[in-house]
Amino acid sequence: MLEKFALLGFGPGGWGWALLQGASITISIALATLPFGLALGLAIALAKRSEKAWLRRLATIYTTVFRGVPELLTLYIVYFGVQILLQQLWVKLGLAGSFSMPPFVAGMIALGMVLSAFSSEVWMGALNSIQPGQREAAAALGLSKAQAFRLVVFPQLMRVALPGLGNNWMVLLKETSLVSVITLPDIMFITTRANVVTKEPFLFFGAAMAIYLFFSLISAWSIGRLEARANRGYAAFGGATR
């Protein structure tokens, strides 16, 4: 039994380094997707509140599509679809060789679009919680619309949006496991390969579970810390009552 665990170690024949590398890829794709997905989500939330009807409709269609289509399918469509489109473009431009879509970019785009659809709902809820008086007061002070958003609305937004965005991050972290199917060597990809080589699926998928669980627990703890920090000005969320 014990020699089986040596397979997870860093010695000869051990998969320790490979697993660590997979874990770092999982984390990098999640971290790379996060800012892109959140910013796009905020833009979509703002589009949904726009005065232009066509912009609102477009944003609604976008969120309906990406919230309704399985992430795996989105990933395939982005990976193969964009690949084919760019390949055609490549040929049309008369460039030599062929274009191949890097799986990391495909994963980032697909997961980012799904994340933006889900996070836009969170942003919407948070935007609705900001009273109109805040914008009006900012306008009365002579701030432009962009300044009012950046200096007055956004700082208040983060506090309300944080729990929902934290949730989005946890979902994203687990969704990254899907990129293994487009050959990005993340944790799932490495453990699947280790399974093929060693015929020890229970051990390796168990190890993958442990790594994901570790990341989830760390994330939950950090989000808790961030929330406490964002709420430090509010007595009900800390200070007086605790």
Partner 1 sequence: MNWCEYPGYIVGSEVFQNYGCRMFSGLWITFQLVAISVTIGFALAVGLAVARLYGPRWAQVAINGYTTFFRGTPLLCQLFLVYYGLGQFRLFWQDAGLWWFFREPFYCALLTFTINTAAYQAEILRGAIQSIPRGQFEGALSLGLHRWASLRLVIMPQAMILALRPLGNELIVMIKSSAIASLVTLFDLMGATRLAFARSFDISIYLYAALIYLAVVEVVRRVWDRLELRLTRHMALR
Q: Which of 132, 202, 236, 242 binds partner 1 (CB under 8 A)?
A: 202
Site size for partner 1, by CB under 8 A?
40
Residue 33 Cβ vs partner 1, minimum distance, rounded to whole Å:
15
Residue 76 Cβ vs partner 1, minimum distance, rounded to whole Å:
6
Packed helices 16-48 and 187-198: angle between N→C axes, nearest 10 degrees: 150
Q: Find the distance separating the first CA and the last CA of the chain, reported in whole Å.
A: 48
Residue 135 Cβ vs partner 1, minimum distance, rounded to whole Å:
29
Q: Burial-class residue 73 by CB neighbours within 10 Å (0-12, 13-18, 19+).
A: exposed
Residue 22 Cβ vs partner 1, minimum distance, rounded to whole Å:
12
Q: Which residues 166-185 are close enough to bind partner 1 by CB under 8 A?
A: 170, 174-178, 180-181
Q: Which residues 29-68 are close enough to bind partner 1 by CB under 8 A?
A: 64-65, 67-68
What is the distance of C-alpha 225 from the center of its chain?
19
Residue 90 touches partner 1, criterion: CB under 8 A = no
Nearest to partner 1 of 156, 198 (CB atom): 198
Using CB under 8 A, which of the segments 31-39, 71-79, 95-103, 129-137 binds partner 1?
71-79
d(CA 196, CA 242): 52
Residue 235 touches partner 1, criterion: CB under 8 A = no
Cβ partners under 8 Å of residue 57, min gap 6: none
d(CA 52, CA 29): 35
Q: What is the DSSP string of 162-202?
A: HHHHHHHHHHHHHHGGGGGGGT--SHHHHHHHHHHHH--HH
- Residues near partner 1 (CB under 8 A) are 64-65, 67-74, 76-77, 80-81, 84, 170, 174-178, 180-181, 188, 191-192, 195, 199-202, 205-206, 208-209, 212-213, 216-217, 220
